[in-house]
Chain A
Amino acid sequence: MWCGVQLLYYCNANAGFKQLGNFVEPISGVDDALTVGIVAAIACGDQFLYVSELCLVVWKLSCKGRLLITGVLWGGSRHRFEKVSFSDYVSLTWLQGRGMGDSGISYITDREISISEEFDLLAWFWFEFEVVLMGNILNLNNSKTRWNASYEVLQGESCKRRRLSSNSCEDKARLIPLLPDEITIQILARVPRIYYLNLKLVCRAWKATLVSSELFSVRKGLGTMEEWLYILTKVKDDKLLWYALDPLSRRWQRLPPMPKVGFEDETKKGLISFPLRMWSMMGSSIRIVDVIMSWLGRRDALDWMPFCGCSIGAVDGCIYALGGFSRASAMKSVWQYDPIKNSWAEASSMSVGRAYSKTGILNNKLYVVGGVTRGRGGLSPLQSAEVYDPHTGMWSQLPSMPFARAQVLPTAFLADLLKPIATGMASYRGRLFVPQSLYCWPFFVDVGGEVYDPNINTWLEMPIGMGEGWPARQAGTKLSVTVNDDLYALDPSNSLDSAKIKVYDYEGDTWKVAAVDVPIHDFTDSESPYLLAGLLGKLHVITKDANHNITVLQADIQHEHARSAFSQSILSSPDNSITEDAESSAQSQGEFWKVLATRSGRSAELVNCQSLKI
């Protein structure tokens, strides 16, 4: 079964293993190509002992004067070897060797020998050992090796070294006794992620493995990645709290609280200089006003909730919380939640402090646009934009939004008075679509929007139909989302109509009604009564139901497309009565909205949401 070969090697501590002359004696047809391969591998720093066509022993000088067998390569073909770690299927037994015992070679463990300094440095020695690979017995006798280096082995230290050596690599505890770790990881990668928190309690090694990127890359390879929905809520005492929803088990899991930051060096004076009027009454569709007013009206403004007004983005498997207010100042700081580790860490800061900025993802980068910051006269809106690359961890500046529409105001007086502000954001067709508004107390006016194209690094004007019809503008939250390349937005209810979902028709540059009667109940006194999200390739609306529970509603997308085409054809008809018929028939089309999950949340208000697949 096995083939032996005599190899003659020359070794020194610096150069490692070199083959001497033509001592290869093929016993049973050794492929020359393999020999070349071994020599090449040796030149690369790994050291191999050739055993047979199917097996290579890997060794290294573990410390001066000691030879440690670190593994066995077991190959399926002559050219490819897969590493088999020792403990799994291989055992090794030293049989005998010339020079053993009195002559200066002693055994330390079953895989390690030491060569004493008395050993004749120029002498040849050989040793014989047996490797048992499951299914094979490979005899390694006649592997003659000549040592040519000076070695120091101090007798008094040998005990200590043995202990160190065994602690460092040999006896590493397995995740499951008797089961190779690679199998354990194969098992854990098939366990739904919602159970990981519980399994972390099994032992230390499990805890470390369950937060390892190795496990999650195995999951990726197996296709057991899971997409979860992460919802940011404001709970009692004005605290922010994240909930993760696993849509398959429909179980909710709280995320660790966001870190407490940014309270140390803030002063009170910023509050006093707030131009309150600037923020009042911008119109019902811009709720930022109400939100900020409500916070300003608090008795103790110093207890502002941390991260109020922060923006949320999800990129490269992590959630980011960007800026927000800390007391009176807008923060630059960025916090990153890693769902693998289930923990928050600080990421590099933005170039300016921003609250209520808009975020979007393009090409696996996180774009941040606009928002407000604290300038000399109090809060002022930002036109600037920047982009975060999660791979480099660096921010780069983008051109500022031109607000071209604001430049053509009839008088300098008006231009000075009207402040442009970004009131939405959608990442769509490889570009960022940002609807904009101008406001001046007590008026506001929507002025279309602008589009950032990363390929030419330039802002362009938004298509007119898109800008004029953009259903809801709000500075803080998430009322539009792109699902399967379609852009959806929620048109809130008014005195005449219930809330609708609209989808943007790119070819016709128009917004079409995709769904009517969105079952939204609780509108009052909430920062964001509804949020949109894409999850599992479907559109979802997150809102609160009649019992004040947080509800995740899933839209039937395919159904929706059919209806969208249908209702559009009717809506374009001049006869209004038919339109009504169409809408009522749409209602009767049955279960369009499916409740994916609910959780009690009487005291919780919706703030933001993101879906994330890892």
Chain B
Amino acid sequence: MGERGEEWEAVMLRKAEEEESKAVKKVKLVTSDGVTMEVEISTVKEMETIQAFMNATDTDNSIIFPLPKVSSHILSRIMELMSGEYDQELVKRLSHEELKEICMVANYLNMKTLLHLTASAIANLIQNKSVEFVRHFFNIINDFTPEEEVQLRKTHEWAFEGVDED
């Protein structure tokens, strides 16, 4: 199998070289609300999932890639972030909902930079907030019993009690 694998990789490599010499391919991304966004192949380079799909699929010209869980709104936000080279300021302007959705799509499309950026932004948002804020932010149901929660809060307060902060 190993030998076959190597052969196959060699074939793929050749294929990739041929592709490069071809004219610029277009990729059509179809969003959940039915909007088709045509982008150049270089744009989807960072979307490793699509990249992998294209590498494994032998098609001639344009590729249609349905994204049934990505809205056109979110996709255009992602395009903005990519063209803005992931500027922190752009990220700050996103709503909480957008941030969460983009993070999820970044994970699915395997966009490493975008995932890091959005995960860091969410981490920053929640890190110094109250437990209630975090629960509300993520829509998490508190499943501690009242007694457990009292006990945990006590432990937590004790750990920081009487501590001077600079």
Q: Which of A's residues lie within 8 Å of B, judged by CB?
A: 1, 31-33, 36-37, 40, 53-54, 75-79, 88-89, 132, 134-137, 175-180, 182-183, 186-188, 190-192, 195, 197-207, 250-256, 549, 597-600
Contact = CB atoms under 8 A, between A and B. Distances in A.
Given A134-B69, A177-B138, A197 B159 contact: yes
A254 B8 contact: no
A203 B140 contact: yes
A177 B140 contact: yes
30 contacts: A1-B57, A31-B4, A31-B8, A32-B4, A33-B4, A33-B5, A36-B1, A36-B4, A37-B1, A54-B56, A76-B48, A76-B51, A76-B53, A77-B56, A134-B70, A137-B66, A178-B100, A180-B107, A183-B103, A187-B126, A188-B123, A191-B123, A192-B127, A197-B159, A199-B131, A202-B134, A205-B143, A252-B163, A256-B155, A599-B164
Interface stretch (B34-42, B74-82, B88-96, B114-122): B114-122
A191 B52 contact: no
B45 interface: no
B56 to A, nearest CB: 6
Contacts of A205: 143
B53 to A, nearest CB: 7
B165 interface: yes
Contacts of A180: 104, 107
B139 A599 contact: no
B65 A197 contact: no
B91 to A, nearest CB: 13
Contact of A598 (B57, B69, B153, B164): B164
Given A191-B126, A203-B141, 5 more contacts: A54-B53, A135-B67, A195-B128, A254-B160, A599-B164
Given A179-B104, A201-B149, A254-B158, A89 B69 contact: yes
Most buried by A among B12, B55, B140, B142: B140
B110 to A, nearest CB: 8
B55 A77 contact: yes
B104 A253 contact: no
B49 A135 contact: yes
Nearest to B58: A29
A201 B165 contact: no
Given A186-B115, A187-B123, A197 B156 contact: yes
A580 to B, nearest CB: 36
A508 B123 CA distance: 50
A179 B159 contact: no
Contacts of B139: 176-178
B161 interface: yes
Contacts of B138: 176-177, 179
Contact of A176 (B1, B53, B140): B140
A75 B156 CA distance: 44
A505 to B, nearest CB: 36
A76 B55 contact: yes
Main secondary structure of the interface of A (DSSP, over half): mixed
Contact of A251 (B55, B107, B165): B165
The number of chain B residues touching the other chain, given as a range, is 35 or more
A191 B115 CA distance: 15
Q: Which 3 A-B pairs have the closest CB atoms?
A: A76-B52, A190-B123, A33-B4
A250 B166 contact: yes
Contacts of A176: 138-140
Contacts of B153: 201
A195 B152 CA distance: 14
B52 A202 contact: no
Contacts of B56: 53-54, 75-78
Given A197-B159, A254-B160, A204 B144 contact: yes
A203 B142 contact: yes
Nearest to A342: B159
B53 A33 contact: no
Contact of B127 (A135, A195, A250, A251): A195
A337 B141 CA distance: 31
A132 B68 contact: yes
B28 to A, nearest CB: 12
A199 B134 contact: yes
Contacts of A1: 57, 64
A471 to B, nearest CB: 31
Nearest to A199: B134
Given A77-B55, A190-B123, A89 B108 contact: yes
A254 B161 contact: yes
B40 to A, nearest CB: 19
B146 interface: no
A253 B122 contact: no
B99 to A, nearest CB: 10
B14 interface: no
Contact of B104 (A54, A183, A251, A549): A183
B163 A599 contact: yes
A252 B158 CA distance: 12
A476 B21 CA distance: 73
B163 A179 contact: no
A436 B74 CA distance: 69
A53 B59 CA distance: 14
Given A89-B108, A199-B134, A600-B162, A191 B127 contact: yes
Contacts of A252: 160, 163-164
A250 B165 contact: yes
Nearest to B123: A190
Interface string B9-50: 000100000000000000000000000000000000000111
